[in-house]
Structure formats: C-alpha cells, structure tokens
Amino acid sequence: MTELTAKARAEQAAVRRRQWSAILLMYGVLLSVATILLGTFLFSLLASIKRDPLEQPFRLWFEQIQPTNWVVAWQQGRAGANDAFWGGLAPGGSVVFDVTYAAPVAVGLEEPDIQIPRRRPGTGMAAVVYQDFAADHVADLEIRRIDDERFTAEDADGLMQEWEKATWRIAFRHDGEGPRLERVPLTSAAPREQFLVDATLPPSLMERRGRQASWDNISPGVLGYVLNNYRRVFKESIDLNTGDSLFLSWTRNSFFIALGRVLLTLTLATTAGYALARLKFPGSRALFMLLLLSMMIPVQVTFISNYLVIRDINLLNTPWAVIMVAIVSAQVLIMKQFFQSIPREVEEAALMDGAGYWTTYWHIILPMSKPALITITIMAFQGAWNDFFWPLVLISSPSNAFTLPVGLLSLRNAYGGAGDWSLILAGAFMSTIPVLIMFIVFQRYIVDNPIASGSKE
C-alpha cells in the first residue's frame, strides 16, 4: 500500500512538472512574440522621430530623445517665441546660440563663417508652405568670441599635442515687423583643421566632409525638437486650393469609411450568421457552402466587375463605393459559430414567453454576443482602416478624398524620390495608432465571455 501511495505521488509530481513546463513554455513563446512586436513598434517610433531614419548604423540613442537636449530646446523656444513647446522666432523674441571649436595651437583658430540661410525645412510641398525666412527678419546679429582655453590631447594619429578651444556666441532678435517664424536655421563653416566640439544644440547635419555644421532650427521648443517630423506631416500635406491639411482630410475619410464598413459588417454578419445558425430553410446548407467558397476567391478576381457596377451607379470617387465593397464572409462564419455555441435553452425560454425570432435576436442573442461583436468590429475596422486596394481603385480624385493609406502613397511619391523619408515614416506611424488604441480599449471584452456564466445561472 505504501509503495502504491509513493508511486501515485511520484506520478502526480511528474504531471505537475509537465504542466508547469508547458505553462512556462507557452508564456516564454508569448513573451518572445510580444518582445519582437514591441521592439518593431519602438523601432518604427524612433525612426519616425529622426531627421535621417536611414542612417547607418542605426542609433537607438540619438539627439532628439536625450533629456538634456529637451531642456535646452525648451529654453530656446521660450527665448525666441515665448513658446517652450513649439518654439520659433516671434516679434520681441531674441535668440542666443553658442558654437565651440577646437584646433591645434600650431594651426590656430579662425572665426567660423556663421549664417542664417534662406533654407526650407524639406522637400515636396515645403516650397509652397514656407514663404517666410528667418534670414529676412533678423536684426542686430552679433557674433563674438568668448571662453578661450588651451588643453593637451591626442590628435588623429594618437600623438599628444596642445590644442586651442574657443566659443563663439551668436545673438540676434526679431526685427519686430515681420511674421512669427516657425523655424530659425543656422550654418557654421570652419576650416578643415578646425573641429566643432560643442554647441547649444547638436547639429542636425554635418556637411562638406564635416567642415559645415547645419541646424534646422536653433529655437525649436521641446515638441518642435522631438516631434518636428509629425508637425511637418500636417503642415506640408496641404490642399493647394483650400489650404487645408490633406493629412487631416485623409484621416477623416478613413474614419468615415471604417465606421460605415463596421456598421455594414455588423448588420450583415449578425443577421446572416443568426439565420444560418438557427433558422432552417431550404438551401441553407448550399448557401453556407457558397459562403465558404466566396472566402477562397481573391478580391482581384472580381474587382473589374465590381468596379464596373460601381461606375454604372455613379459612386466612383465617393466613400460609399469603398464601404459597399465590404466582404464579410469570414465575419458571418464567426458569428454563425458563436451563435451555435449559445445554448438553445435560452432561446426556447424566450419563445415560451412569447418572444418572436426578431425579439429574441435583438434583445437576448446580441447582448450575449458582445465578445464576438467586438471581435468582428475590430476586424472590420482594421480591414477598412488599412485597406489600400479598393480606395486606390475606386477613389482617384480629388486628393482630399483619398484615404490615409492612399494619401501616404502620395506622400511617398512626393518625398521618397528626394530621400526625405522622415515625414513619410511619421505619417505611417500615426496611421497605426487608431487600430492600436481600439484593440487596447476593447481587448478585455474579447477575453470576457458571459455565455458560460449565464448558462450556469
């Protein structure tokens, strides 16, 4: 008896070990997948903030995410435009900026050629959007040398030699008559033997083999410093006829189409799913097989006929055309399977109380189907929000009628050829946020399932 008890305990311990091993393996796999997905998300976020997202090697710790630079950008924005967040240069504002150079004592230090250039912030629509330049509205520009210092350090060949270091302070103000300027660029060029070792803010770009340092904005404000690419998305994607932001128009269009697609999907999927799950009628099995067959047909096979139908009813270049082409076969299947999992006793009790099929469906079945409804809502919203094929085919003009994915393609055509990928990545990253927020908000409803608890009661 004792041997049997010991053997049973050993088997129970082995079962527990296997269970714990399976649980740890499952959580390990889920944690690895989550880490990969989160890493991709963070990587794309960092790339969208950078001025040059294609730099090699890719740096994870760069100027725009360093808190010390946030503080300086805050101070520069307040000084230039009394706006610590978005900065700039406004009437009454003044800017002070320091650059520090070093050179061997034997070579000597020369004053760098410091200028405020008439430079636009990027390519594409920036040529139309930005007509005012800081160089045209700067007054009392002063450049003076301060803080001379000598020290000993190694040169490029590893030899010790004496160096000279000095700081030049650039100070100027707004002339008081022009408009508020969004940005104040700066360039500083020095001889080849002279090296930039420090500045109030790190340079945005080193040009001419390191001889010229360029700053896109020396009074950016903290948000203008970190999120400048995102600001450019809204500022530079404009409608030339109205001056409105095209990115906002594309976002509104995508929301409208996604909402319409969700409502259409919920209506068709729930009614058709309930009919296939509960109502017995001639041809129901053939209809279900036809539904499964439709899921196997690629949309590209039927898009020409669908396009011709939509053209003939004069719905081209309207959001209604994109909403109408919703394909809900998978959602109908999900709702059918979910309705079949609901105990029939619930419906029979309602029928005994005098409720008809419509009353039972609307007041009893749908409230119990919240997890499935949330699931197909997310699927429909995500599918419509990320849909690229149908909006590209059905909406060709005007530009403010595009959806967000098609609008991002137009940005890619306008800016990608010039290598200005930062604006495109910022727009693409913002397009992922609504779906992410929707999933985070509603994911607890997907996990929750009140059917089991309701049937037990």
The pLDDT score that the predictor gives to residue 123 is 67
> Mean pLDDT over residues 20-39, rounded?
77
User: Per-residue pLDDT tens for 202-252?
Assistant: 999 998 888 899 999 999 999 999 999 999 899 888 887 887 889 999 999
How many other C-beta atoms lie within 10 A of the C-beta of residue 271? 13
Length of the chain, please? 457
Confidence of residue 454 (pLDDT cuts 50, 70, 90): very low
Instruction: Quote the pLDDT of residue 131.
Output: 75
Sign for the CA dihedral angle at 138, 141, 146, 150 comes to: positive
Q: Is the pLDDT of residue 115 over 90?
A: yes
Q: pLDDT at residue 359 above 80?
A: yes
- Residues 250-261 have pLDDT tens digits of 999 999 999 999
Do residues 121 and 420 touch, judged by C-beta distance below 8 A?
Answer: no
Q: How open is the CA angle 265-270-274, to the nearest 5 degrees?
A: 150
Q: How far apart are CA 186 and CA 170, in angstroms?
A: 10
pLDDT at residue 128 in the model: 67
Report pLDDT for 452.
41
pLDDT at residue 324 in the model: 86
According to the model, what pLDDT value does residue 207 have? Answer: 87
Over residues 375-387, the mean pLDDT reads 90
Q: Which residues pair with 152 in a beta bridge?
A: 162
Q: Which residues contact 151 (CB under 8 A, 6 or more apart)?
A: 162, 163, 165
Q: Which pTM does this prediction carry? A: 0.83
Max mean pLDDT range (215-224, 276-285, 363-372): 215-224
CATH code that applies to domain 246-456: 1.10.3720.10
In the predicted model, what is the mean pLDDT of residues 12-32? Answer: 80
- Residue 451's pLDDT band, with cuts at 50, 70 and 90, is very low
Question: Which amino acid type is present at position 203?
Answer: P
Structure tokens at 251: 């976002």
Q: Taking a C-beta distance cutoff of 8 angstroms, is the pair 211, 236 a contact? A: no
**In the 8-state DSSP scheme, what is residue 85?**
T
Q: Which of 436, 444, 441, 443 is nearest to 38 (CA)?
A: 436
H/E element, 24:
helix 2-49
Structure tokens at 285: 């099995």
- Residue 1 confidence (pLDDT): 53
The confidence score (pLDDT) of residue 453 equals 40
pLDDT in tens, 66-80: 999 999 999 999 999
What mean pLDDT, rounded, does the chain reach?
85
Assess contact for 182 and 122: CB atoms under 8 A: no
446 pLDDT band (50/70/90 cuts)? low
Q: Distance from first CA to last CA of the chain, Å, rounded?
A: 43
pLDDT in tens, 392-420: 999 988 889 999 999 999 888 888 877 78
**Is a pLDDT exceeding 90 seen at residue 447?**
no
CATH 1.10.3720.10 intervals, the chain: 246-456
| Residue found by looking up tokens 């849909």 in the block | 387
The residues pairing with 454 across neighbouring beta strands, listed in sequence order, are none
Confidence of residue 319 (pLDDT cuts 50, 70, 90): very high
Is the per-residue pLDDT at 156 higher than 80? Answer: no
Which is it for strands 138-154 and 195-199: parallel, antiparallel or unpaired? unpaired
